[in-house]
Amino acid sequence: MKKVLFVVHTLQMGGAEKVLLNLLKNINKEKYEITVLAIVDDGIYIEELKKIQPIQYRSIFPAFFKESRANKEAKYHKLSNKVMSMIWKWYIRMMKYFPRMVYRMGVKEKYDIEIAFLEGKVAKVVAHSTNPNSQKIVWIHTDIHNVSGIPIFKNAKDEKKTYQAFHKIVCVSNDVKQQFMKKTGIKDHIFVQVNPIDSSDILEKAKEELPPEYQTDQTVVISVGRLVKEKGYDRLLEVHKRLCEEGLIHEVWIVGEGREREGLEEYILQNHLEKTVRLVGYSSNPYCYVNRADIFVCSSRVEGLSSAVLEATILEKPIVSTQCPGASDILGENGEAAIIVENSTEGIYEGLKQLLASKELREEYKEKIKKRSRLFEIQHAISDIEKIIDC
């Protein structure tokens, strides 16, 4: 039996973390002895992970070593924002300049395979493994050429050296692979592997009845994701306001939580959208909301392979998606199964307007997406991932 270590940053709500749960629930546990190491002991998925036996869970830093803990979302402590900001800066410095020390703090055993299940911080820690005999694999979930946020690499040379430490690089879409090669110059040992999606679980949970306050006769446009700038929900609300003013009345539901909530709430109040926009918040079952909706929209500025779009595909929803990495992998070249639009506010407006204006077009895309959804059976993806791990 091979000893396998999966490393993540946290187990907070996010596409990659959810993908990891799907993978761990379905992987052959008779072949692998699995440990999951979170750099920061934080996240809504921790308890769910602990239920997957016999997988072990460990962490390095406590929950306050997280960016959101340095601002208004400080939930687990009574420290001042100033102190939390100092702690956060110290943490980033550790990750940036002393990743081997972080690795040694968290990894106390020898593993046959060490998997960084995210790019950036996680990749840097695993790349500085002190185990010369382990096979090292990194998962790239996003377009690293256009990713924003706090720089974790000292320079481009440091970034390239980090990824060169891995024996295999797994990209979640062809677009992500192309952008990765463009950014790093690395071209060997790169695999493209679609994320595993548990369609049976999604379809079963979709049957759950919605809370009474979500009963409506209006056309519903839905999106699922973290409330962060990358998801483009500011653009979606701007488009919603414009379409309502043009007479295409509908509701927008956004299922997810994040640091942009306050800004979105302020926009909703300022533009009197309280009756047509619902910020649902985090839900352990977003599928019942998606199942009720008439249209799914991905307004993201940046993606790797959107798990939310994959799930909407399983639920056979007409989809409007911005042209970002992974969209073509899910929805087909030239948007054969959905409307793929320019990655801009205007693009989202044009695509959403088409579907809101025509029920017949929505039905047409529902039929198209049915055929596409069959491509994403979970056992195919799990089998391919095990081959990557084993070979």
- Sheet of 295-298, strand order: 277-281, 251-255, 220-224, 295-298, 319-322, 339-341
The reply to whether 199-376 shares the fold of 2-193 is yes
Highest mean pLDDT of the ranges 58-62, 124-128, 181-185: 124-128
229-258: b (≥16 Cβ within 10 Å) or e: bbbbbbbbbbbbbebbeeeeebbbbbbbbb
Residue 382's nearest CA partner among 22, 8, 49 is 22
* Superfamily name with CATH number, domain 2-193: Glycogen Phosphorylase B; (3.40.50.2000)
**What are 72's two structure tokens?**
């208004």
Radius of gyration of the chain (CA): 21
Most confident by average pLDDT, 81-95, 105-119, 334-348: 105-119
Relative orientation angle of helices 378-390 and 15-26, to the nearest 10 degrees: 80
CATH code for residues 199-376: 3.40.50.2000
pLDDT value at residue 71: 40
For residues 241-249, give the mean pLDDT: 97
Question: From CA 296, how far away is CA 321, in angstroms rounded?
Answer: 8
Q: What is the pLDDT of residue 3?
A: 97
pLDDT confidence of residue 303: 85
Q: Which residues contact residue 256 at a Cβ distance below 8 angstroms, ignoring those fewer than 6 apart? A: 13, 223, 224, 225, 226, 227, 231, 280, 281, 282, 286
Alpha-carbon dihedral 286, 292, 296, 301, rounded to 10 degrees: -30
What tens digit of pLDDT does each residue of 76-111 get? 445 566 777 788 888 889 999 999 999 999 999 999
Q: Tell me the pTM.
A: 0.77
CA distance 308 to 311: 5
Domain ranges of the chain: 2-193, 199-376
Q: Confidence class of residue 56 from pLDDT cuts 50, 70 and 90?
A: very high
Q: What are phi and psi of 209, to 5 degrees?
A: -75, 140
pLDDT-based confidence at residue 256 (cuts at 50, 70, 90): very high
The pLDDT confidence band at residue 306, using thresholds 50, 70 and 90, is confident
Residue 75 pLDDT class (50, 70, 90 cuts): very low
Per-residue pLDDT, 39: 94
CB 173 within 8 A of CB 300: no
Given a cut of 70, whether residue 149 has pLDDT beyond it is no
State the pLDDT confidence band at 62, using cuts at 50, 70 and 90: confident
Mean pLDDT of the region 36-53: 92
Tell me how far apart the alpha carbons of residues 327 and 310 are, in angstroms, rounded to a whole number: 9
Buried (b) or exposed (e) across 102-138, using 16+ Cβ within 10 A? bbeebbeeebbbbbbbbbbbbbbbbbbbeeeebbbbb
Judged against a pLDDT cut of 60, whether residue 317 lies above it is answered with yes
